[in-house]
Chain A
């Protein structure tokens, strides 16, 4: 069974600094998708970034980028120039290539210190 592990329950970062959130996963598939979702206190989950496993190039979305290490089954999220609005729970998620279901980690609560 696929599992997603986020080993950092809580992280904090100074405003304008950079923070990296860790995620590891376990799968026997070769083709799959990985995602980072943000869940602010309002509770609606928002897609931050996605990575296709067949792509070697790391995905980037503005201040958000990933470090995808397929062999190590690692998928970390880097947030640059952190802003107060980045404060939220961040979930790493895995999906097989059919997208029939996603597997989520337990989340990392990010605090941004002004």
Chain B
């Protein structure tokens, strides 16, 4: 297990299209998080799963955003009807406890 894996690394999409990102956490980690990072800013929390349950969801996560973790393993983040303001790096992280996250390399989304 080489860490948290995110796919794709880069995604360019036209405004109004739907996109889906995937995150594969470290296998023994029961917690999974999605963050969004724009240039020059720190990551902003989007949502948190413990196993398959989505326990926290930020107000930043509008109804165009949905995340799933169907079997408590990998997770997907879908953005519907993308807008230019959705352009950002989407980071996934996993952990086993409050010890600290292990981050993936992120998916960079560009909406044109």
Chain A residues proximal to chain B, CB less than 8 Å: 4, 33, 35, 37, 42-47, 50, 91, 93, 95, 97-107
Contact = CB atoms under 8 A, between A and B. Distances in A.
A109 B43 CA distance: 15
B48 A100 contact: yes
B42 A105 contact: yes
B98 A97 contact: yes
Interface stretch (B12-20, B69-77, B102-110): B102-110
B101 A102 contact: yes
Given A44-B106, A98-B98, A104 B31 contact: no
26 contacts: A33-B98, A33-B100, A35-B100, A37-B103, A42-B105, A44-B103, A45-B43, A45-B101, A47-B100, A95-B98, A99-B31, A99-B97, A99-B98, A101-B33, A101-B48, A101-B58, A102-B33, A102-B43, A102-B45, A102-B101, A104-B42, A104-B44, A105-B42, A106-B42, A107-B40, A107-B41
Interface of B: 31, 33, 40-45, 48, 55-56, 58, 89, 91, 93, 95, 97-106
B56 A100 contact: yes
Contacts of A107: 40-42
A43 B106 contact: yes
Contacts of A50: 99-100
A68 B60 CA distance: 31
Pick the most buried of B33, B43, B45: most chain A CB atoms within 10 A of its CB.
B43
Contacts of B95: 99
Given A50-B100, A97-B98, A99-B95, A43 B42 contact: no
Contact of B45 (A43, A46, A103): A103
